[in-house]
Amino acid sequence: MNQTTMLQASSIDELIAQLADVGYQAERRLATALFLSLKLQRPLLLEGEPGVGKTELAKALAQVLNKQLIRLQCYDGMEQREALYEWNYAAQLLHMRAAHDQSTSDAIEREVYQEKYLIRRPLLQALQAPAPGAVLLIDEVDRADEPFEAFLLEYLGEYQISIPELGTIKAQTTPVTILTSNRTRDLNDAIKRRCLYHWMEYPEHERELAIVRAKVPQASIDLAQQVATFVGRVRSQNNLHTFERSPAIAETVEWARALVALDTHSLNRQVIEDTAGILFKQREDVDAFIPLIEELLAPEAT
């Protein structure tokens, strides 16, 4: 089609390599979903626990495609004017005051609805992004309310919006769109149908090790290995519902950094206990974790 297509990976392996080059480790199923979303020009909906790399993927993709990242952070009660556009009333008012004596009221009305008084919010910015277009991240869409979801569906269907005073604005280049959700509520089926979907799991051992190695190069291979193994074991407690919330990738990385800062060369019960607040952010989880440390450190021995 154009130059952007050329920047796009021609295979899933190439996409995995390109993402790795910018520091993002993608597993194959995720890369496949992403590859297809680029090829088919469909939005990609990523769901998963907090901290598994949903937002980071959009950032990495923008780098790979050399496109501008435009992010809409959703929240309860978000209004269209915060997502789409609004008029700069203060500037319009000033204009009206200044023009009051010279112009007719009809002329003033035309003048105040010019593009220069339009404040563009992310969804409009994404439509008007100059070549090669944008990566549009609609982050935590589950936090927005249902009317917004209905509106979003329309937006994703046409990639155009209509501004009564200005007319219809259509995307110059369809934005590469990524939606994320922590699944605090189920999304509308119609949204899911419109998107390609991928559920993001906690990483398997090798990938988590690669992430720690890449993000915390100061940690020795040995320590990185121990960290990834230990966190993996902590998460396997998930089946027993021991913890409210398992440590995610962000916590693993932060923990490895903390251990390096504490000059730890090898994991031991004391240092794990002292740093438990990095792995777990809830008091009940810390309390449940501490008596288990010994067993998690050496599961064979018990």
Instruction: Point out which residues bind ligand ATP (CB under 6 A).
Output: 23-25, 48, 50-56, 180, 182, 211, 215, 249-250, 253
**What are phi and psi for residue 44, nearest 5 degrees?**
-115, 125
Q: Which of residues 183 and 265 has its CB atom nearest to ligand ATP in the complex? A: 183
Question: Of 38 and 127, which has the nearer Cβ to ligand ATP?
Answer: 38
- Whichever of 55 and 264 has its CB closer to Mg ion, that residue is 55
Q: How far is the CB of 204 from ligand ATP (least distance, A)?
A: 11
Q: On the CB side of 178, how many CA atoms lie within 13 Å of its CA? A: 27
Q: How far is CA 273 from the centre of its chain?
A: 31
Q: Binding partner of residue 225 among Mg ion, ligand ATP, none, CB under 5 to 8 Å per kind?
A: none
Q: Which does 142 bind (CB under 5 to 8 A by kind): ligand ATP, Mg ion, none?
A: none
Min dist CB 25 to ligand ATP, Å, is: 4
- Helix runs in the chain, H state only: 3-7, 12-21, 28-40, 54-65, 80-83, 89-99, 105-112, 122-128, 146-158, 189-194, 205-215, 221-236, 249-261, 269-274, 276-279, 283-289, 293-297
Q: Which is nearer to Mg ion, 76 or 206 (CB)?
A: 76
Residue 16: closest CA among 4, 26, 7: 26
Alpha-carbon gap, residue 1 to 146, rounded angstroms: 35
The listed partner (ligand ATP, Mg ion, none) that binds 32, CB under 5 to 8 Å by sort, is none
What is d(CA 161, CA 125) in angstroms, rounded to the nearest whole number? 11
Q: Which is nearer to Mg ion, 43 or 260 (CB)?
A: 43
Shortest distance (Å) from residue 184 CB to Mg ion: 13
Report how far residue 18's alpha carbon sits from residue 10's, in angstroms, rounded to the nearest whole number: 11
The stretch near Mg ion (CB under 5 A) out of 36-44, 55-63, 142-150, 163-171 is 55-63
Q: How many residues bind Mg ion (CB under 5 A)?
A: 1
The closest residue (CB) to ligand ATP is: 53
> What residue 51 binds from Mg ion, ligand ATP, none (CB within 5 to 8 A, per partner kind)?
ligand ATP
55 contributes a contact to Mg ion by CB under 5 A: yes
Strand pairing of 134-139 and 68-73? parallel
Establish if 246 lies at the interface with Mg ion (CB under 5 A). Answer: no
Taking contact as CB under 5 A, which single stretch among the options 2-10, 12-20, 51-59, 114-122 is the one that binds Mg ion? 51-59
Q: Rounded to 5 degrees, what are φ and ψ at 94?
A: -60, -45
Q: Which part of the chain contacts Mg ion (CB under 5 A), choosing from 47-55, 66-74, 78-86, 153-161?
A: 47-55
Q: Which helix (H) or strand (E) holds 199?
A: strand 196-200
Whole-angstrom distance, CA of residue 12 vs CA of residue 37: 12
| Binding site residues, Mg ion, CB under 5 A | 55
